[in-house]
């Protein structure tokens, strides 16, 4: 990845408007945009201008009354080549479930030779989500965020990288907005948990990192977590809700 012109650019969740989903106001539904709206159109133009892959996440209007929190994958020609819809809208600190529907796929996207997974913000609090992305083939998982500083942020990002032997790259909003103080600390973590780059928590920054795909293979040979998994024993994770106790 070249510093002057990176292969992949990731920007935070809800980059195009303030975070409003901690408020109960149906007027905020008007902030949703279709894939053909001005924000993604502008991002497509920038991707084509700079000949880069770009991941941009916004409040998507799929159709009248149907909305998602969606990460769009845009290629260097400016074409939308994929999308990931947030599987777990937040209800921990926010009211996101009031505003958008659950996604249901942990898709993996090709960016050059890389296989890239995406999860969004609150998804990260569920280790199953990153694991599903990794099991589906992801070598790098990017995570658009709009979150205040919550708990052991740095340790959680390192753990998700380490336990899945993937590069892990959260990209968070930063600074005061809508009554919240967004936590920043965007970072890039390697498959063994080494932090390759990390932003601060005071203001906007651009961080870059050079990734080596061979590193994923080397670490997975050394730590054969995927060989040693026992999915035949994990039925409780997929059981009917009323049949489990957690």
The C-alpha atoms of residue 16 and residue 98 are separated, in whole angstroms, by 20
pLDDT tens digits along 121-159: 999 999 999 999 999 999 999 999 999 988 899 999 999
pLDDT beyond 60 at 46: yes
Q: Which of 13, 33, 139, 185 is catalytic?
A: 13
| Strand residue runs (E) in the chain | 8-13, 53-63, 66-74, 80-85, 108-111, 114-118, 140-145, 167-172, 174-177, 180-183, 187-189, 195-198
Active site residue: 86, 132, 139, 185, which one?
Answer: 86
**Does the annotation mark 46 as catalytic?**
no
121 is catalytic: yes
User: What is the pLDDT, as a whole number, of residue 127?
Assistant: 96
The closest of 78, 61, 73, 90 to 10, measured between CA atoms, is 73
* 171 tagged catalytic: no
Determine the Cα–Cα distance for residues 213 and 166; give it in Å rounded to an integer: 10
Q: Which listed residue (121, 132, 173, 185) is catalytic?
A: 121
Query: Using one digit for the tens of pLDDT, what is the confidence trace for 90-125?
Result: 877 789 999 999 999 999 999 999 999 999 999 999
Q: Residues 35-56: what's their mean pLDDT? A: 98
Burial class (CB in 10 A: 0-12, 13-18, 19+), 215: middle
C-alpha span between 161 and 149 (Å, rounded): 19
Query: How many whole angstroms separate alpha carbon 68 and alpha carbon 37?
Result: 14
* Residue-wise pLDDT tens digits, 47-79: 999 999 999 999 999 998 899 999 999 999 999
Number of Cβ atoms within 10 Å of the Cβ of 94: 20
- pLDDT recorded at residue 179: 85
Q: Is the pLDDT of residue 3 over 70?
A: no
Nearest partner of 148 among 11, 27, 22, judged by Cα: 22
**Domains of the chain by range and CATH?**
8-229 (3.60.110.10)
Nearest to 134, CA basis, from 106, 110, 94: 106
Instruction: Output the pLDDT for position 44.
Output: 98
Rounded distance between C-alpha atoms, residue 48 and residue 77, angstroms:
5
pLDDT at 209 over 80: yes
pLDDT for residue 32: 96
Reported confidence tier of residue 2, pLDDT bands at 50, 70, 90: very low
Query: Average pLDDT over the chain, rounded to whole?
Result: 94
């Amino acid at each position: 990845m070249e510093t002057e012109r990176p292969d992949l650019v990731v920007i935070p969740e809800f980059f195009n408007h303030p975070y409003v989903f901690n408020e109960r106001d149906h007027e905020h539904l008007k902030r949703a945009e279709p894939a053909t709206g001005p924000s993604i159109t502008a991002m497509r133009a920038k991707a084509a201008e700079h000949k880069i892959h770009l991941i941009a996440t916004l409040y998507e209007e799929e159709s009248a009354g149907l909305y998602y929190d969606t990460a769009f994958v845009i290629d260097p020609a400016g074409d939308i080549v994929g999308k990931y819809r947030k599987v777990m809208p937040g209800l921990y600190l926010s009211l996101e479930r009031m505003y958008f529907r659950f996604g249901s796929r942990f898709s993996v996207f090709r960016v050059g030779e890389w296989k890239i997974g995406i999860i969004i913000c609150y998804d990260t609090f569920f280790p199953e989500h990153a694991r599903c992305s990794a099991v589906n083939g992801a070598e790098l998982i990017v995570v658009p965020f709009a979150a205040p500083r919550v708990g052991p942020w740095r340790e959680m990002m390192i753990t998700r990288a380490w336990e899945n032997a993937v590069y892990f790259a959260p990209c968070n909003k930063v600074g005061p907005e809508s009554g919240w103080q967004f936590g920043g600390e965007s970072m890039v973590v390697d498959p063994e948990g080494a932090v390759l780059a990390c932003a601060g928590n005071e203001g906007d920054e651009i961080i870059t990192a050079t990734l080596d795909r061979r590193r994923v293979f080397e670490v997975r040979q050394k730590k054969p977590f995927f060989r040693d998994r026992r999915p035949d024993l994990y039925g409780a994770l997929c059981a009917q809700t009323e049949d489990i106790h957690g």
